[in-house]
Structure 1
Amino acid sequence: MTGPLSGIRIIDLTAMVSGPLATMMLADQGAEVIKVENPHGGDFTRSASNRRHGFAASYLNNNRNKRSVALDLKHPGGRAALALLIERADVFVQNFRPGVIERMGFDETRVREIAPSIVYVSISGFGEAGPYAQYPVYDPLVQGLSGLATVQAGSDERRPQLVRTILPDKLTGVNAAQAISAALFARERTGEAQHVRLSMLDSVIAFLWASDMGSQTFVRGELPQQAAASFQDLIYETEDGHITLAVQNDREWAALTRALERPEWRDDPRFATAALRQDNIDARLELTQSVIRTATSEHWLARLQTEGVPCAPVLTRHEVLEHPQVTANAIVREYDHPQAGRLRQARPAARFGEGDVDAPEAWRGAPALGEDTRTVLGECGYNAATLDRLAADGAFGPDASAASGNSTDTSRDGDP
């Protein structure tokens, strides 16, 4: 597959979501990603629910465009094979709990003995130090510890709420992909290879600070966060569904009053300025809702768009697939997986130049466990006799075509 990262080889020991999502993003951009898995089950997401022909949707959606090599890293032959893969790689990524990779014998010191210029990447849950470093971690735990659940609730005094998607896992994956690209760029410029470290907790707290931690920004000037500006969201009920709209400036506020045919709101002293409209947000939203519920979504979207009010329909997951804005940009694509059948997936968000490297015909569906073991190791110099001997000796585990059961490895960070 061509792309801006063509020629970069990544050895991926990650599982679950954060690491695999990061490496899939890089694979989508042209990197060669070799996913090294425990042959006794592999990535835990392989055993998740919502399956077809032995492939789980969550595994398929985080492991496109990779090759799978199954190695038993407790076996000397498996460790030797991994060392040979590392020797030819640009990036080594792992998301074991702190201390596990050292016990396996592939800590940074050892890996740099094999490949001095490699970018070494460690993804953790809570970070490498501190009282929680060795704790098992899943997405809800990070949402709680980071403050995200309290932010989602709207006030320190309300019951915390989880975001109903595994945001810490996925945000960490995006951060990891960006950091790996930056480290590769730095190596190209300076020749220096770096150890990239990040955690799910790092990712969420940094993410929140941009917009949700203003009250904690000024040292010795912190503000209490018990009271939220409003507990109402910007979803409005119509006669037949829901829409969302948002107004920020005076021009948009005037446009809203025209669209809703409420010119008297412009003379209301509660709404005279943007600051006053924010101070009186509950009254403003309640008035808006009282009008919006009197007609259909189609009616209001047409009026709002004509007046230049920022607005959009609120769609179900299935409705998203057919919306003209989504189809016009070909965001969701279909292609055939050799085992799992016809799949539907979102294309990579970033596009490069005029070439359509994100076209489905250029995609390689997520691999079966160990399906590329012999091919990849053959490319590294193993002959057929050596591969047969290692397979017979158990270095590759059981037959990869039959390996689809549960993984017993519980030392990863992430959320299935």
Structure 2
Amino acid sequence: MAGPLAGIRVLDLTTTLMGPYATQTLAEMGAEVVKVEPPEGDIVRRIGPARNPGMGPIFLNTNRGKRSLVLDLKNPEGREAALRLAARSDVLVYSLRPHSMERLGLGYETVAQVNPRLVYAGVYGYAQDGPYAARPAYDDLLQGATGVAALNARIGDGTPRYVPLGLVDRIVGLAASGAISAALLHREHTGMGQRVDVPMFETMLPFVLGDHMGGLAFDPPLDAGGYARMLSPGRRPYRTRDGWICAVVYTDKHWRSFCAGLGMADLVSIDKRFADHGARIAHINEILAMVSEIMAQRDTAEWMEFFEKADIPAMPVNDLADLLDDPHLRETGFFEMEEHPTEGRLRRAGIGPRWSASPAGERRPAPVLGADGAEVLREAGYEESEIRRLAELGATRLPGTGE
């Protein structure tokens, strides 16, 4: 095994997106992850185009590096199997509401009795000491609750809109992987396991408010909050003569270079709106409108050459398919091809972080439902007769057996 978390065993009781993304991140760092799925499988298996039922692209791209075991946790035998697996794991991650874990008999106090060194991590909607504690949560709800949808309303026609990504799920999933890694480091120093709670609402809020707290940071408030530059209607890709381009003329140096290249070198010194960064933010709508008019006068390729020479940040506007031919991604080998045992040839995204001393090794493809069940149960000490009995009782499901 390879990666900085090599040797760490993770019991993954999560479904949908946030929890699976967190545990895939751990798997990419070398952890051994067992994904426990209900008999019907993770609902995300059924999203998007697929060559075979239950193997959709969102599932394939959120569950790499894992082995799949089917357990019905409402079945006493399934619950017992989960406890036996927890006893030999370093981390347990769940995405049910905490009271649901208690109802299943898998609450922290119960699980800690079989493994006091376990890092027991919950990723769910809201902190448990407030009135929202029992509420269900999805990405859309949290984009609304944390102000993301309302911020989109400010820059559009006044209608709140969601970002077209599982934004909260993935941000909170990354935060969870970091919190779990920190808890593992604490255990390394102390020998103690612990409960780790990662609520979506409270974890996402600092992410949003870091940019947009604005005058609300002061008591009494100095304004209604919001970062003017990010909320400007002109903060969007610029239309060129033949397409679109992203450019950020931001620092004093950028503006001097931009104006000089356009033959307007004196603008920065003459026009007080360009005097410094604070002045530009105060007049951001006017400035971005001016830049938009200028950008429409040249082709995208001309602007890319201009910005590269001026050392001003710029990138083209890529559609999803464009990414597959991006020259930088080709050179770095970001997209990898894999031969999946049931799905054939697949394209997968690479891992962003790199570790010089403990690089991630070959990644296991996303599993077929229950594909590794018998193997995982044997490792937990189950005999073949016990595994067959679990299947007969409906506590597990073994592929290819009809059970």
Scaled to the shorter chain, the TM-score interval is over 0.9
Secondary structure, counterpart of 2:123 in structure 1: strand
Aligned to 2:103: 103
Is this contact kept in 2: 1:155–1:228, CA < 8 A? no
Question: Aligned residues, how many?
Answer: 398
For residues 234 and 4 of structure 1, do their structure 2 counterparts lie closer, same or farther at Cα, with a shift above 3 Å needed? same
Aligned to 2:260: 258
Is this contact kept in 1: 2:32–2:66, CA < 8 A? yes
| Aligned Cα root-mean-square deviation (Å) | 2.1
The answer for unaligned runs of 5 or more in structure 1 is: 404-416
Shift of 1:215: 2.1
For residues 402 and 242 of structure 1, do their structure 2 counterparts lie closer, same or farther at Cα, with a shift above 3 Å needed? farther
Post-superposition Cα deviations, 1:185-238, rounded to whole Å, max 9, x if no partner, equal 011012221211011112210211222212221232342248945221141111
Moved more, 304-313 or 217-226: 217-226
The counterpart of 2:246, out of the listed 240, 244, 247, is 244
Cα distance in 2 for partners of 1:117, 1:49 equals 39
Secondary structure, counterpart of 2:211 in structure 1: coil
Q: Does 1:334 align with 2:337?
A: yes
Aligned to 2:312: 309
For residues 202 and 393 of structure 1, do their structure 2 counterparts lie closer, same or farther at Cα, with a shift above 3 Å needed? same
Cα distance in 1 for partners of 2:219, 2:333 equals 47
Shift of 1:106: 0.5
Shift of 1:368: 0.9
Supply the AA of the counterpart residue of 1:248. Answer: Y
For residues 215 and 153 of structure 1, do their structure 2 counterparts lie closer, same or farther at Cα, with a shift above 3 Å needed? farther
Aligned to 2:59: 59
Q: Percent identity?
A: 36
Cα distance in 2 for partners of 1:249, 1:206 equals 26
Is this contact kept in 1: 2:252–2:276, CA < 8 A? yes
Secondary structure, counterpart of 2:198 in structure 1: strand
Cα distance in 2 for partners of 1:226, 1:400 equals 53
Q: Does 1:289 align with 2:288?
A: no
Aligned to 1:143: 143
Cα distance in 2 for partners of 1:356, 1:113 equals 35
Shift of 1:385: 1.9
TM-score after normalising by structure 2: 0.93
For residues 286 and 10 of structure 1, do their structure 2 counterparts lie closer, same or farther at Cα, with a shift above 3 Å needed? same
Q: Does 1:347 align with 2:346?
A: no
With a CA cutoff of 8 Å and minimum separation of 6, indicate the structure with the bigger relative contact order.
1
Moved more, 219-228 or 343-352: 219-228
Supply the AA of the counterpart residue of 2:387. Answer: L
Cα distance in 2 for partners of 1:181, 1:227 equals 32
TM-score after normalising by structure 1: 0.90
Post-superposition Cα deviations, 1:24-54, rounded to whole Å, max 9, x if no partner, equal 0001111010111112x11111122322222
Moved more, 123-132 or 175-184: 123-132
Q: Does 1:5 align with 2:5?
A: yes
Post-superposition Cα deviations, 1:270-312, rounded to whole Å, max 9, x if no partner, equal 2222222222222221221212112211111101110111111
For residues 292 and 342 of structure 1, do their structure 2 counterparts lie closer, same or farther at Cα, with a shift above 3 Å needed? same
Moved more, 177-186 or 46-55: 46-55
Secondary structure, counterpart of 1:122 in structure 2: strand
Supply the AA of the counterpart residue of 2:350. Answer: R
Aligned to 1:412: none
Supply the AA of the counterpart residue of 2:396. Answer: F
For residues 226 and 84 of structure 1, do their structure 2 counterparts lie closer, same or farther at Cα, with a shift above 3 Å needed? closer
Cα distance in 2 for partners of 1:94, 1:58 equals 19
Cα distance in 2 for partners of 1:214, 1:383 equals 61
Supply the AA of the counterpart residue of 1:43. Answer: D
Shift of 1:338: 1.0
The counterpart of 2:234, out of the listed 232, 241, 259, is 232
Cα distance in 2 for partners of 1:156, 1:195 equals 42
Cα distance in 2 for partners of 1:347, 1:227 equals 33
Shift of 1:355: 6.3
